[in-house]
Structure 1
């Protein structure tokens, strides 16, 4: 399955929100409790697309998933670090799209002076761990019981890759 990768636009917000919503409502993958609407996702696309990068993957004209970078922390010394995330429509999982998105996103981040990228993965999540390790991320630690979602405490593992 071949996916075309391109920068996201405001016009992609509704589809990105649609892809993201099940991660919010049906899993603890996202620590948000209410899915953001298209207007909020459009705001995020503009903000992170400008500062770090936000890409979408299209398969036969349909957005199959997206990836973006965002600030890791707010203190000045963290300016060369970024958090990264990927969200895929379940129908397109395990098709290599996540890998393609990261392969396109990392050079953009590097050109924007990002040296280290971090992925926070709500545990358990074997598929995400597998993708990140295949992309050269290494585990750096676990925040134990850092979030309460779906009736229980959730751990978040952190993985890092130097660009």
Structure 2
């Protein structure tokens, strides 16, 4: 087991590899089974997680936090909406192992993820956060995300309806008059 003190000295946010799928699935499983943080209701297995990693890495990004060879968290971005006009916007997510929450690892991952998305030419990042979740709201505000809207009673999980707040970050500043790049790199 890696201690919290090891996080800053030996941690590395790096692109996910297929062999990281099992660790990512294990980190994600409690979020699916025991929380409303995700609206998935079936825990994805290693093969499904590997497919998600491949898909995200093709056009967006999937990073893991590797601490002395142990994957303790991951963050990724994917398409916000399949319609062409949305192609410069992404949806982001970050998940940490239960014993690593509030250790700074999520910030390491998100900082790297947002930087890579900006370099690739994406303009907007969006995060959907099941409410109430002040910790995630504050985490996103710390990165500059601002409230963009609220979907009321949009998801049914754990015998209740849940709201989802949407937060938005302009990755490259306001650019209403600047055309986006033709292609995302």
Compute the TM-score of the two structures, normalised by the length of structure 1: 0.97
Quick one: distance in 2 between partners of 1:58 and 1:91?
A: 14
Q: Which residue of structure 2 lines up, in the alignment, with residue 106 of structure 1?
A: 114
Q: Which residue of structure 2 lines up, in the alignment, with residue 30 of structure 1?
A: 38
- Of residues 55-64 and 105-114 in structure 1, the stretch that sits farther from structure 2 once superposed is 105-114
Compute the TM-score of the two structures, normalised by the length of structure 2: 0.86
Q: CA RMSD in A?
A: 0.8
For the residue of structure 2 that corresponds to 1:102, the secondary structure is: helix
**CA-to-partner distance for each residue in 1:119-147, whole Å, 9 max, x for gaps?**
00011112111110111101111100001
For the residue of structure 2 that corresponds to 1:6, the secondary structure is: strand
Match runs of 1:64-143 below 5 Å? 64-143=72-151
Q: Which residue of structure 2 lines up, in the alignment, with residue 19 of structure 1?
A: 27
Shift of 1:44: 0.4
Identify unmatched segments of 5+ residues in structure 1: none
**Alignment equivalent of 1:40, drawn from 33, 48, 53:** 48
**CA-to-partner distance for each residue in 1:67-119, whole Å, 9 max, x for gaps?**
00000011111000000000000111111111111111112112222100000
Identify unmatched segments of 5+ residues in structure 2: 1-6, 172-185
- Of residues 102-111 and 132-141 in structure 1, the stretch that sits farther from structure 2 once superposed is 102-111
Q: Which residue of structure 1 lines up, in the alignment, with residue 168 of structure 2?
A: 160
Quick one: distance in 1 between partners of 2:73 and 2:147?
A: 24
For the residue of structure 2 that corresponds to 1:114, the secondary structure is: coil
Q: Which residue of structure 2 lines up, in the alignment, with residue 7 of structure 1?
A: 15
Number of residue equivalences? 163
Quick one: distance in 1 between partners of 2:71 and 2:135?
A: 20
Q: Which residue of structure 2 lines up, in the alignment, with residue 53 of structure 1?
A: 61
